[in-house]
Structure formats: structure tokens, C-alpha cells
């Protein structure tokens, strides 16, 4: 019994020391030099990759900054307002006389603003209308042709309806509709072109289908 009791402290002491000795042994494990160098090399490669990624991010950020539109106020340009034709008030005009000259821009403006008031002044009146030719129309199966004069907007047009000259046998458009040609026998003559300033004599028929119709008997060009 004495021998067993004397061995008990020794056994307990050995149990305490044994795990510590195992830990010390684990801490003392040595890594081969080649393996250590390989680990160090891989670590350097990893750091280099991280650096390359950061560099790429910085380059992308700089490219994005360059492609952003400049917001310099001095570089911003605004479109100039489009000039519009301003007609004098129709009530301020003197009494209309036969063969008075009326601009196509004014005639269209008055009918666009107040067709009833414009009718009181111009409908069934014989007058002269001046304007820039912007186009032609040739109705099918009809002898007459039409000359379109410039107006301030598209909502109201001025259309001059004319008959061909007495010595002509045909009137038609050419050059993609930019010219009006009259045929007299075998001779072709350009009667008018887009952009010409025309003065027509005729009678105002009022507003019809968004157009001020002028029944004309004379067309003259200002060249």
C-alpha cells in the first residue's frame, strides 16, 4: 500500500508535464528550407497580384473620369431662339384698296389668329399677294396648277390657283418638284422655281382646309 501511495504523486506529475512536452515538441518542428522558400515565393506572388489588381482598378477609375462629360458652364451652348414673323395687328391696318399688296406671311397669320376677322377684310377682295415660292401642286386631270407661298407655320398655308398660259398645252413639275415647267408645242420653259419671290394677282376665296385660297389670273416673278 505504501508503494502505491508513493507512486501516485509521480503519476500525477507526469500527466501534467506530458501535454506540455507534446506542445513543446510541436513548436520545435522545423520546416525544410526548400518548403519555406516556396511559401515565401508564393506569398510574394500573391502580394504582386494584389498590387496588379489595385493598379488596374486605379486605371479604370481614371478612364471613367476622362469619359465623363465636362460640365464647364462656359462650354455649354444654348440654341438661339428661332426668329418668327410678327404681323401688325389687323385692326391697325388702313382700309384695303383694290390691288393692294399683301404679304403671304401676314395673310396666313391673320387667318391663323382669327379667320372670321380675316374674312371680313380679305375674302372676295381682289388683291396682290407677294411671297416666296416653297412648292407646287398639279392636280390630276385638271388644267390648273397651284403655287404654294411661304407662311410663318405649317398650320395655315397660302395656295395660289392658276390656269396655264394661253399658248401652252401642258404644265408639269420637274427636278423632283422644285421647278414648274410649261410646254408650248415642243418648247419647254421653266415658269417658276422654288425660292423665287412671286407676286400674284387674284381674288381671295378665304380659308379652306387649312389653306388660304387665292384664285389667280397673273403670276409674276421678282428677280
Task: In whole angstroms, give the CA distance from residue 88 to residue 104.
Answer: 13
Are 202 and 181 within 8 A, CB to CB?
A: no
Fold for 95-222, please state it: OB fold (Dihydrolipoamide Acetyltransferase, E2P) (2.40.50)
φ and ψ at residue 77, rounded to 5 degrees: -115, 140
Output the nine-digit C-alpha cell for 22: 507534446
pLDDT in tens, 13-69: 454 444 454 444 444 556 677 767 777 777 777 777 667 666 666 766 665 555 554
Indicate the helix (H) or strand (E) that contains 7: helix 2-27
Are 221 and 149 within 8 A, CB to CB?
A: no
Q: Which of 76, 130, 94, 85 is nearest to 112 (CA)?
A: 85
pTM for this entry? 0.62
Task: In whole angstroms, give the CA distance from residue 219 to residue 206.
Answer: 19
Task: In whole angstroms, give the CA distance from residue 222 to residue 207.
Answer: 26
* SS3 category, 11: helix
Output the nine-digit C-alpha cell for 199: 407676286
Query: pLDDT-based confidence at 6, cuts 50/70/90?
Result: low
pLDDT in tens, 87-122: 999 999 999 998 899 999 999 999 999 999 999 999
Q: Is residue 180's pLDDT more than 50?
A: yes
Pairing mode of beta strands 187-193, 197-208 = unpaired
Are 129 and 149 within 8 A, CB to CB?
A: yes
Outline which parts of the chain fall under CATH 2.40.50.140: 95-222
Amino acid at each position: 500500500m505504501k508503494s502505491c501511495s508513493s507512486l501516485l504523486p509521480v503519476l500525477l506529475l507526469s500527466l501534467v508535464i506530458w501535454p506540455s512536452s507534446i506542445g513543446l515538441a510541436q513548436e520545435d518542428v522545423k520546416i525544410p528550407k526548400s518548403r519555406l522558400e516556396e511559401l515565401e515565393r508564393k506569398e510574394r506572388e500573391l502580394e504582386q497580384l494584389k498590387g496588379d489588381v489595385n493598379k488596374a482598378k486605379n486605371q479604370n477609375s481614371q478612364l471613367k473620369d476622362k469619359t465623363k462629360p465636362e460640365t464647364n458652364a462656359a462650354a455649354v451652348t444654348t440654341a438661339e431662339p428661332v426668329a418668327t414673323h410678327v404681323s401688325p395687328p389687323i385692326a391697325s391696318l388702313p382700309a384695303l384698296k383694290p390691288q393692294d399688296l399683301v404679304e403671304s406671311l401676314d395673310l396666313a397669320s391673320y387667318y391663323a389668329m382669327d379667320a372670321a376677322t380675316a374674312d371680313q377684310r380679305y375674302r372676295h377682295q381682289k388683291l396682290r399677294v407677294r411671297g416666296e415660292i416653297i412648292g407646287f401642286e398639279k392636280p390630276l386631270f385638271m388644267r390648273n396648277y397651284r403655287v404654294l407661298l411661304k407662311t410663318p407655320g405649317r398650320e395655315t398655308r397660302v395656295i395660289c390657283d392658276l390656269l396655264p398660259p394661253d399658248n401652252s398645252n401642258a404644265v408639269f413639275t420637274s427636278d423632283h418638284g422644285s421647278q414648274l415647267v410649261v410646254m408650248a408645242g415642243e418648247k419647254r420653259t421653266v415658269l417658276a422655281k422654288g425660292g423665287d419671290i412671286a407676286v400674284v394677282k387674284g381674288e381671295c376665296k378665304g380659308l379652306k382646309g387649312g389653306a388660304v385660297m387665292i384664285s389667280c389670273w397673273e403670276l409674276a416673278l421678282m428677280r
